[in-house]
Amino acid sequence: MLAGMLAAACGPTSPHPAATRPPLAPPTPASVAIPDAPDAPDAPDAPDAAAPAPALAPPTLAGPAAATPTDYRYQFGVRIPMRDGITLGATLYRPLTDAPGPVVFVKTPYNAHSYHAWAAYFASHGYATLLVDARGRGNSEGVFRPSEDDGRDGYDVVEWLATQAYCDGKVAMFGGSYDGFGQWATAKHRPPHLATIVPTASVRFGLDFPLTRNIGMPYTIQWLSYVSGVSVAGSVFGDEARWQRVTSAYLAGEPFRKLDALAGNQTTVFAEWVDHPTYDAYWRARAPSAAEYAQLDLPILTITGHYDSDQPGAMSYYREHLASASARTRARHYLVLGPWDHGGTRYPTSPMSGLPLGDASKVDIKALHVQWFDWTMRGGARPALLSSRVAYYVTGAEAWRHADEVDAIAPTTRTWTLGSDGRADDVFRSGTLADAPAPAGAAADTLTLDPRDPRRATHADPQDAPLVDPLAATPPPGLALVYHSAPLATDVELGGQLRVTLHLALDVPDADLWVGLYEVLPSGRAIALTEQVMRARHRDGLDTSALVPSGAVLAYRFDAANLFARRIGAGSRLRLVVGPPSGTYYERNYQAGGVVADETPADARVGTLRLVHDATHVSQLELGLVARPPAAGRKGR
């Protein structure tokens, strides 16, 4: 679901297309039984001015209808020298003044002019802005190799800008998705004049693209085809019927490794990437190391969303930086966690994929950038949204909340224990999520895992997967295990990090597993909350691999789903769905235990999953209880 919803929201075509799914019209917002959103609370007072304290997608080419500012100067054809002798092409937008000031830039493989509206806005608000084509793309020389040259080239752009007459020596970066990664890659090299970065929905190569939890994605070759050559191949990228045929040919009998040949494009790094099916040193080298994080000394604003497919990447940079940084630097790293999908991190909308959101969710992201630049590079006021280091949105309550650290979003937890009468493979004959542990000797639930089951492709959501009533929330009998809580007696705000512990026994050496969490309204409609996928051989971590001993009951801990925060209404229930990932978004695991990229349907092994939930093997769902705002009359932080 998360993978699919990103698609239509982030670009001219689908940015992280989901599994192959039949058309499904999202329900109209008016039909969703959700109370009207309360008025947004007053924004907290800005503190006094202080010293200066991310599935990868093409950028959104067009935002909401709004007039583009015209009070700026425009210069096409700027050339920027790189250390190896090539030059990058760029376009410069300057304020109507000759006085030097801070400069901001983005370097992108997608077509620098896709950021025209951003550059016009920034320049009209006093910031010279440079839009740079990545090496080997657009008007830049060289050869584009995704994620390999961004750090060095970014360093050279920063230091070149610092020497220009219109720059006062302070240089900032912005951009989302791939261009969020580019900011971290540049910061890793510590250019002296880099004053601040605003990484948004930042992809983490090897972690959330082109792998998700060590599981490949057919979308990878579609994206690589989009950035093949020097110009964007938008028509090829957006031909969903063609990509459907490519994926269908793969599933009909070809190994994942041959996807580039099936797509007619063997000029990319696809084969090289397939040779690194785990988050190994090849991928880790693209992000800062602990020592490099510790050396960073600049203010950072990280932006991501509840339903952002690159939230895993964005949050990994955030957490790893805080773990290594000095106290002074930690205090200058801010996080905005909105109710958005991938594209919504740049252009928030409501409703989003069928889910109505309050007006408070529609933050003017361009204006937030300018406020951040004013604060960190010109000594202006702190942005009102950033009254504390973490700003997060609670859907249902439709309000922003604030915390000093991300773990304070949900400082306490509530646990539900899985149980059943021995069957839970039907939404209408489900297991339970209860407050008390299951008794000793409770019967286990069983599920057949057949990687060739056609329902795994046909019962799947469209690429613009709705958040309300996605098909994944109502699997057909026998395709997944389903557990329901009792209706909640009162409203409760849940969120933070989902933690699901399942005690499972498999009789095949490997399998791909998925958990999805939903709110089920009293009307019966389901709202997606979060989800996670796992390859069984990597159950103990992305850097470990061990095939599953047949029949052994092992603990599988799902603790890497997207963070979220939502007020669950009285009378609603929670639904936990456990099964294989449906659709064609993920590489198909045929459960044979070999190199998955080389396997075909001929290698498929049908397996049985047993989910054990008794007094000895407590399978459970744990959710955080979102911190409530201060009582009326007390000033919040």
Would you say residue 49 lies in a domain? no
Would you say residue 244 lies in a domain? no
Summarize the confidence of residues 309-320 as an average pLDDT.
98
Summarize the confidence of residues 259-286 as an average pLDDT.
97
pLDDT of amino acid 56: 64
- Digit-coded pLDDT (tens) for 14-38: 333 333 222 222 222 233 333 333 3
Residue 169 pLDDT exceeds 80 = yes
DSSP letter (8 states) at residue 450: -
**Is the domain of 428 the same as that of 510?**
yes
Would you say residue 13 lies in a domain? no
Residue 45 pLDDT exceeds 60 = no
- Digit-coded pLDDT (tens) for 384-441: 999 999 999 999 999 999 999 999 999 999 999 999 999 999 999 999 999 987 777 7
Among 408, 432, 450, which residue terminates a domain? 408
Among 408, 427, 453, which residue terminates a domain? 408
- Digit-coded pLDDT (tens) for 220-240: 999 999 999 999 999 999 999
Q: Which domain holds residue 437?
A: 413-625
Would you say residue 20 lies in a domain? no
Q: What total number of domains does the chain contain?
A: 2
**Is the domain of 390 the same as that of 450?**
no
What is the pLDDT confidence band of residue 69, given thresholds at 50, 70 and 90? Answer: confident
The model's pTM? 0.90
**Is the domain of 325 the same as that of 397?**
yes
pLDDT of amino acid 463: 61
Would you say residue 527 lies in a domain? yes
Q: What is the rounded CA–CA span in Å between residue 517 and residue 503?
A: 18
Among 366, 383, 408, which residue terminates a domain? 408
**Element containing residue 447 per DSSP (H, E):** strand 445-449
Tell which residue, 428, 348, 435, has the closest CA to residue 393: 348
User: Tokens for 604?
Assistant: 């498929």
Say which CATH number the domain at 492 has: 2.60.120.260
**Is the domain of 334 the same as that of 350?**
yes
Judge contact between 465 and 16, C-beta under 8 A.
no
Would you say residue 513 lies in a domain? yes
CB atoms within 10 A of CB 634: 7
More confident residue, 58 or 624: 624
**Is the domain of 110 the same as that of 144?**
yes
**Is the domain of 147 the same as that of 175?**
yes
- Digit-coded pLDDT (tens) for 178-202: 999 999 999 999 999 999 999 999 9
Q: What is the mean pLDDT of the chain?
A: 89
